[in-house]
Structure 1
Amino acid sequence: MGSQHTPEILDYRNENGHGWSFYINDGVLRRVGTTPEDDMEMIRNVQKLELRDDDVMIAAYPKCGTHWLWEIVNMLRAGNSEYNKKMKEIAMLEMPKFERIDELPSPRVLNSHLYFRHLPEKLVEKRIKTIFIVRNPKDVSVSYFNHANGSKKLFRFDGRYSEFLDLFLEGKVPGGSYADYLKDWWQVKQDNPDLPILTMFYENMKEDPVKHIKSVADFIGESVTDELCQEIAEACTFKKLRAADAEVKEDFADPFEIWKESHKGVYRKGEVGDWRNWITVAQNKRFDDVIDRKFEGTGIVFTYE
């Protein structure tokens, strides 16, 4: 890699020209969107962000349920099951206009796909409550492909799923390697015992949403009734969240500016096990081999059904 000011550009597009270019920032593969310099400046600004004592942080790799969890946490803090009129992106640290985060009223529910070392430096010092959500990598790969393939501009990927899977298993996708990201957070938990981190598994949330919504409420210090948790679970089904995006969100951009016409937006299926409709037997064996190798010794166990 070159110097801090002129990072090397890594072109990881495949032979069909599908994929992205990256640079490396502090060991993390970062997609080249605008310029590496702009991206590095954004990260420095995020690291310097002033956090408030009552902030909650949601951290996740892309397509692991960040939108879903963000709505749930906002409802718990509001004490009702009404949708927040803002989009999750208003409180997403790596968004271009993230300085607007300072204008958000407390208590804020922040969210990010950034690695821990790129998050605000005050996170540990202020012991900011952090919720980390994990999803099985096979469903992540399918959801991520549909997101990238349905995107007109942001993550635009015009290849087939099999091409995306090759890049995903090699960690050559926006956000870098899923295995590296999860292992990094597991290490963060060990290295920072004073940082309150609640780890949630997407599949458990799907199986028993009321129980896990109650766990989130306990973690962030909100006293709630079982009835409210039930109402929130029902309001936060994927079908209802998709409708809320179109009907409730004030700053929901014209979906056709963001998505191809065949695509329904950020909420697709949200099911556990949809990967079976996409992944061939041969691909699945290869996937298992990569997972076994990359997660060996971590104790991380995924649920695929």
Structure 2
Amino acid sequence: MATPAEKATAAGLNADLVMLDGFVEVEFMVDRLKRVKDLPIRDDDILLCTFPKSGTHWTWEILNMIVAGKAEYAKHWQNSAWLEYRTEEELEALASPRILHTHLRPSQLPETVWDKRCKVVYVRRNPKDCVVSSFSQMSKQIWKDNPTGKPSYTGTWDDFIDLYLNGCIPIGAYFEHTIEWTNISEAKKNFEICKVHYEDMKQDCVREIRRMADYLGRPLSDKTYQDISEACSFTNLKHANEKLKDQTYHFHWQGDSSGYFRKGTTGDWKNWFTVAQSERFDRVYEERLNETFPY
């Protein structure tokens, strides 16, 4: 029987894939993922934890501005602080408090994150919008180390949904990721994290920025919250990332787009899913998470 990695390759995922601890991973990431557990963690580290395409760039920039106390963009792309991707030396060079971001599950992180009671912000988004965004990105993305020059995914939309629901996509399986993060407070002895929903940020960004600032113990003025919200609007943040920021940690993509910023909206999944695909997604979601699909 084919492994999930083999199924992903057969369906059109153009990368060297392997199985690691029961999950599909890109081969060149294996050594990096194995070393994450031993990375030094500082007492004042702030971790931003998301499933891919859940508003990571957006929230990371907001957190940087909260810490800075003003609506000023961080110098580098968020990739400069990507926990599982940067070297230990690169992470050590970051000034405190570091705002590290990761797509990993809690069980993959250094145990010292929990021992030191680091601040953790977890962002969750409608997975139907996540899968649309992932498909759109991976259908255009060319991996840096891919000698073929092909996009990361060249299969069909229907097959991509199937891979997504069955956890055959690299970086993580949505349901396992969600279950672990949803239950983290119980698993880690009442560890307090700040849970944020992408849709809530779209509805009232100022309110959610204030909530994150309060959690971090860094309250700001109402005007500063407004300024941060405006600076981190989709249009302004896309411009800043593509035109203003140092591009050292920017990945290369097809065309002249950053690849990360597509629409920044909610509900675009309705333009992609057929009725049958949507109903199947809801059914699997409810079976795996034991809750009614809430979006």
> Do the two structures share a fold, i.e. TM-score over 0.5?
yes
Q: Is the 8 A contact 1:133 1:202 kept in 2?
A: yes
Q: 2:242 aligns with which of 240, 246, 250?
A: 246
Matches within 5 A, 1:124-135: 124-135=114-125
Distance 1:43 1:262, change over 3 A: closer
Deviations 1:253-280 (A, max 9, x none): 67xx721227552111111101011111
3-state SS, counterpart of residue 130 of structure 1: strand
Q: Does 1:302 align with 2:294?
A: yes
Which of 4, 12, 22 is the matching residue for 2:7?
12
Question: With structure 2 as the length reference, what TM-score do the two structures score?
Answer: 0.90
In the alignment, residue 250 of structure 1 is paired with which amino acid? D
CA distance in 2, matches of 1:174, 1:10: 9
Cα displacement (A) at 1:251: 2.5
Q: What residue in structure 1 maps to residue 276 of structure 2?
A: 282
Match of 1:216 among 212, 216, 223: 212
Equivalent residues of 1:179, 1:295 under 8 A apart:
yes
Cα distance change on mapping 1:252 and 1:266 into 2, 3 Å:
farther
1:179 is the counterpart of 2:169: no
8 A Cα contact 2:5 2:168, kept in partner: no
CA contact (8 A) 1:56 1:128 kept: yes
Deviations 1:110-143 (A, max 9, x none): 1100111111120111000100100011001001
Q: 1:11: how far off?
A: 1.1
Letter in 2 for 1:302: P
Aligned to 1:25: 20
Whichever residue aligns with residue 182 of structure 1, its letter is: T
Q: Give yes or no for the alignment of 1:237 onto 2:227.
A: no
Aligned residues between the structures: 287
* Structure 2 runs not aligned, ≥5 long: 145-150
Give the equivalent residue in structure 2 for 1:190.
186
Report the more deviating stretch, 175-184 or 212-221: 175-184
> Within 1, Cα distance between the matches of 2:172 and 2:41?
26
1:131-150 aligned within 5 A:
131-150=121-140
Letter in 1 for 2:253: W
- TM (norm. structure 1) is 0.87
Query: Are the aligned partners of 2:73 and 2:240 in contact in 1 as well (CA < 8 Å)?
Result: yes
Q: Secondary structure at the match of 2:194?
A: strand
- Worse-matched range after superposition: 262-271 or 232-241: 262-271
Structure 1 residue corresponding to 2:82, chosen from 86, 92, 101: 92
SS of residue in 1 equivalent to 2:120: strand
Match of 2:195 among 195, 199, 207: 199
After the TM superposition, which of the residue ranges 241-250 and 124-133 deviates more from structure 2? 241-250
Which residue identity does 1:103 align to in structure 2? A
Q: Which moved more, 1:230-239 or 1:193-202?
A: 193-202
Of 149, 152, 156, the match for 1:160: 156
Q: Could you tell me how far apart the structure 1 residues matched to 2:92 and 2:99 are?
A: 12
Q: Distance in 1 between matches of 2:93 and 2:289?
A: 40
SS in 1 for 2:70: coil
- Larger RCO (CA under 8 A, 6+ residues apart): 2
1:18 Cα deviation from its structure 2 partner = 3.9
Query: Which string of whole-angstrom CA distances, capped at 9 and with x for unpartnered residues, describes residues 176-204 of structure 1?
Result: 32111100112222111342211111101
% identity of equivalent residues: 35
1:292 matched residue in structure 2: 286
Q: Distance in 2 between matches of 1:148 and 1:238?
A: 20
Question: Once structures 1 and 2 are overlaid, which stretch shifts more, 145-154 or 186-195?
Answer: 186-195
RMSD over aligned Cα atoms: 2.2
Per the TM alignment, residue 10 of structure 1 is displaced from its structure 2 partner at its CA by 3.8
- Asked whether the 8 Å contact 1:11–1:20 carries over to 2, the reply is no
Q: Which residue of 1 aligns with 2:104?
A: 114
**1:63 pairs with 2:53:** yes
- Residue 148 of structure 2 corresponds to none
| SS of aligned partner of 2:183 | helix
Q: Would the alpha carbon gap of residues 290 and 73 (structure 1) be closer, same or farther in structure 2, given more than 3 Å must change?
A: same
Aligned equivalents of 1:189, 1:295: Cα separation in 2: 17
